Chains A and B, each alone.
Chain A
Amino acid sequence: MSDELHVDEAELQAYADGRLPSQRRVAVEAWLAARPEEAERIAAYRRLGQEVRAAYEAMLSDPVPERLARAAARVPLRRIAAVVAWLALGALLGAVGGWNLRPERPLAQAPDTTLIARRAAIAHATYSPEVRHPVEVGADDEQHLVNWLSKRLGVKVRAPKLDEAGMALVGGRLLPGDNGPVAQFMYQTQNGRRLTLYVRTEAARNRETAFRYARESNVGVFYWIDRDVGYALASADLNREELLRLANLVYKKLEP
């Protein structure tokens, strides 16, 4: 019975940080299951953690000002350039390859989660203006499209039905990605406003994430990771609220 359990605030905090030993974790989960308000509060703390990490993540790859490199290295000025260059390279590799400058403690946030937004935006900007060849395989052959893309990505991909939001599937295509093939589905409204869904497999270390929003020039992107698949929904024709509504719809439709 839940009476036997005693869960204090410190344990709830440790639970939110994912730091409880498994036995206590099970106990806390049971305790929370009977208390929806508390469960929501702790879930909110977890989300906050993700958001705080995301908010300051960019500082890790920000070029180190020379005065700091100098203060740390206590080296004469002429050698500073090399130190700064080395740090900048680290930051660049960190940004591009997911290689981290300080690998002794894995970052809770995988460094390349924002990359999916950029890739999706570029793919959107490339193909959505196409009049004659927006997709490789059209919606009239949807089953083949989905089978083909699933086979190439190595996971089951689906083209969610978005008709209720006025978005009809145009079709899809295969794209090269950072870690293998990527799928892109294209949708459009009756008056030709377009939306693309970018789907790629994610390394296992990437956690599930909340919806995040990014903007690359005129393309807005909502992106999220669900287990081992990353999704990015991009459009240059929809505003943020419209895009968020569609992201919610896509997420709902993709739920097993």
Chain B
Amino acid sequence: MEEGKRLVELIPRLRRYARALVGDRATADDLVQDTLERAWAKLHLYRRGTDLRAWLFTVMHNVHVNRVRSTRATDVLDEEMPELAQRATQTDALLMRDLDRSIARLPADQRAVLLLVTLEDMSYEEVARTLGIPIGTVMSRLSRARDKLRAMLLGQAAPKLKVVK
């Protein structure tokens, strides 16, 4: 039952990643719920002592791929942007909306790599294992994702953010 407690603890991180990955909270929470249920069903496959978080993100990735495959027709981005969590409105809502929208426009493969590296701070090896791809592919997708995201945000001519050294 140790794992059960850890699963509960990992929910906020699963939700954050899922939210960034799929673009709206309701779909994200559906994905998290499917992931948790799947994790319980497959828990006998999890090797104790290994990284439960990495395992869980692998489960989520597989669930996500299956969901997208089965709902391809509806996997079109909304023209209306979904809301971020409430606290986000305190910070720059405009910038975030642009960012959120741009991330949603990235190809799904690249988006997953970018988010696992950026949000989860996963090593490139962990990302490769989680997504079941070679590390060279991780690096090239990361590079392309950043390149595109930067181009999209530059194109929007958003207010220039100056960076403190």
Contact = CB atoms under 8 A, between A and B. Distances in A.
Interface in A226-244: 226, 240-241, 244
A60 B13 contact: yes
Interface stretch (B15-23, B64-72, B74-82): B15-23
Contacts of A212: 91-92
A13 B161 contact: no
B12 to A, nearest CB: 5
B15 A59 contact: yes
Given A10-B139, A13-B142, A62-B86, A44 B92 contact: no
A58 B86 CA distance: 7
Nearest to B115: A52
B157 interface: no
Nearest to B5: A73
A214 B90 contact: yes
Among B32, B36, B90, B114, chain A packs the most CB atoms within 10 A around the CB of: B90
A74 B12 contact: no
Contacts of A41: 150
B33 interface: yes
Contacts of B36: 68, 71-72
A5 interface: no
B165 interface: yes
Contacts of A57: 16, 88
A240 B95 CA distance: 13
A242 to B, nearest CB: 12
A55 B11 CA distance: 18
Interface in A215-256: 215-216, 224-226, 240-241, 244, 248, 251
A28 to B, nearest CB: 15
10 contacts: A49-B118, A54-B91, A55-B20, A62-B87, A69-B11, A71-B36, A72-B11, A73-B8, A108-B121, A226-B165
